[in-house]
Amino acid sequence: MRETALERFLRYVKINTQSNESAETTPSSQGQFELANLLVNELKELGLTDAEVDEHCYVMATIPSNIPENHPAQGRVPNIAFLAHLDTSPEVSGENVNPQVIENYDGSDIVLPADPSVVIRVEENPNLKKCVGHTIVTTDGTTLLGADNKAGIAAIMTMADYLVSNPQILHGNIRICFTPDEEIGNGTKFLDIQKLNVKYAYTVDGDLPGELNKETFSADQATISIVGRDIHPGTAKGIMINSIRIAADLIARLPKDMAPETTEGYEPYIHPYTIEGGVGKTTIKLLLRDFRTPGLEEQKQLLQKIIDEVRAFYPKAEITLETKFQYRNMLDHLEKVPEVLDNLWEAAVRSGVEPYWKPIRGGTDGSRLTEMGVPTPNIYTGGNNFHSKTEWLSVDFLNKTVETLVNLVQVWVEKS
């Protein structure tokens, strides 16, 4: 190969691709175009002549099939795609990422150099115990790392390099696709499925090796808008309607046992993740998540009930609830095509990991892709603590991801 996955990863994370939820364009940030154009150039350098990026920042390229005409699998291997997203979370800054590479990790807490108050604690990160002796990448403590999902991009790019460099490894047509704005729910908004032209796909956007994902939350976003009345506090009696107090009352009434910090496994949650405004107007944005799609409607009804209760105390305030579709659980569709799951499982086994299916307490582009008719389970990347300053990546596990992808394309040939 021309470059290692680590070398690629360190280059990609230094480009700020943080998405912007308030933007009205796709992509929502110009940094995503910067990374997309870099990737197109690198794909062309690998020999993928059709590599391109469109006006909405979708990168596509093809590794053409090299199956001989007389091979039993000729004409039988479906086109498959590997996807990762360009953007990083809007929740934590992605500007001026300064990655720290720790070789031969000793298993202790990791104090981040630019802000010693930010510590990756083993007690809070039990997966670190699996990484003693590994090469670990962290931030300096002032930004997120961007392993979500630049680790996935690095893995796919390294796989492409490896397959091009080793033509004796047989594979069908492999499509590579990098998407914008996944973190704000728009990863497939302008994706041309006909142009992608695959029967199955895999997102490379997961955690540690072994964990495979075939089900996600069903997800909506809720926005509560509160309009009060502002006036000088010295003459406010009987006139002021403080929307901040109303927002506090609403949030205080949310069920404590339906929060991200109090739930796990298949338990649903309602998560107020941003609040903006002042006395006259305040807006609360919430994530609604449930593995049962009907549970989203139950959450909306619960929010409306809370609003009605609070409105009784502030009858002159205007309180409205709006919800927006985000994505749905992909499990029902994926179980109808067991080959896409079985082949992934086999590839993981061949890579020397012990695979298991775990529900994603989140979503991937695969959720929407599966709805759109392209069954798309998710593959691990080797990272943890996404969307935070304590995000970290095991390079050893990232390399295991590359190995899994290479094995997977071979399994498709053998099973076909």
Which positions are annotated as active-site residues? 87, 182
Q: How far apart are CA 226 and CA 93, in angstroms?
A: 28
Number of neighbours of residue 47 by Cβ within 10 angstroms? 13
Q: Which of 276, 296, 278 is nearest to 288 (CA)?
A: 296
Q: Which of 26, 21, 19, 12 is nearest to 57 (CA)?
A: 26
